[in-house]
Copies of this chain bind each other. A is one copy, B any other.
Amino acid sequence: MTAPTTAAGGDDFDQSARDAVYRAMFTRRDVRSHFVAGELDDAVLARLLTAAHHAPSVGYMQPWNFIVIRDGERRRQVRDLFLAAREQELPAIEAERQALYRKLKLEGICESSLNLCVTCDRERSRNSPLGRWHNPEMDLYSTVCAVQNFWLAARAEGVGVGWVSIIEADALKRLLSIPDHVTPIAYLCVGRVSEFAPRPDLEAHGWGQRLPLPDLVMSETFHGAGEAPLKSAIARLCGASRPTR
């Protein structure tokens, strides 16, 4: 781990360093099924948290906190919240997909090494909310950037991360004594894994497919058809990677 360093132009990442960054992104998975027993070294967890802490934040607000949860009984209570929430969500799913939904493994709360709740303190910059007068949700987005840094650093360290979003936020706040002005953003399961699956679970199980990226790129306005040379460049990349996704 290299400490934050001095100024640099744009040529300080060589090809292998660039490849490493892309590889972390392409092989990152939302891990549910492949956690293995064992603790995570404090040194590793410290590096992951430092990565999260170097996320961008609106007005340099750094609104995040990180609650490390290891206690087995507390985790079982969180899992109970998940199970209840899943039952509540089920009727919102299309009838013909409910059987598949029930089969999906959507959390690894108890079998991961630890859980991490990443929160956002909405009041941390209350006297000078630079960048939040028009868009007060920017602090939530900053916290998500911290989660994504954590997730990518974890991938590079061989550590799996799964984000549990099927949970009732108010119940979670009560269980973790989170104050009113603090919003839980992500509840993460974190731990060593036996493997990172070659494809996202929801793709492997037929829930969805990766959308064609050229269709998602517009030009100038939301209805702009997109630039043909850029779309071709994207299609070349996607074509190259399709066999292995």
A residues with a Cβ closer than 8 A to B are 1-13, 16-28, 30, 42-43, 45-47, 49-51, 53-56, 58-62, 64-71, 74, 85, 88-89, 92-94, 97, 101, 104, 106, 119, 127-135, 137-138, 140-141, 144-145, 147-149, 151-153, 155-159, 163, 165-169, 176-179, 182, 185-186, 192-198, 200, 202-203, 207-208, 210-211, 213, 216-224, 226-227, 229-230, 232-234, 236-238, 240-241, 244-245
Interchain Cβ contacts under 8 Å between A and B, 25 examples: A1-B19, A2-B26, A3-B240, A3-B241, A3-B245, A7-B195, A8-B27, A8-B196, A9-B194, A10-B157, A10-B193, A13-B24, A21-B152, A26-B54, A42-B230, A49-B213, A60-B200, A67-B222, A68-B218, A89-B133, A92-B133, A134-B167, A134-B169, A177-B221, A177-B222
Shortest beta-carbon contacts, A-B, top 7:
A10-B158, A3-B241, A17-B20, A46-B233, A89-B133, A60-B208, A60-B202
| 8 extra A-B contacts, CB within 8 A, seeds A134-B167, A140-B141 | A3-B245, A42-B229, A60-B208, A69-B220, A71-B220, A134-B169, A176-B221, A177-B222
Report A168 CB to chain B, min CB distance, Å.
5
**Within the assembled complex, what's the spacing in Å between the Cα atoms of A211 and B63?**
10
- How far is the CB of A173 from the nearest CB of chain B, in Å? 9
In whole angstroms, what is the CA distance A38 to B27 when docked? 32
Give the chain B neighbours of A18 by CB distance below 8 A: 1, 20, 156-157
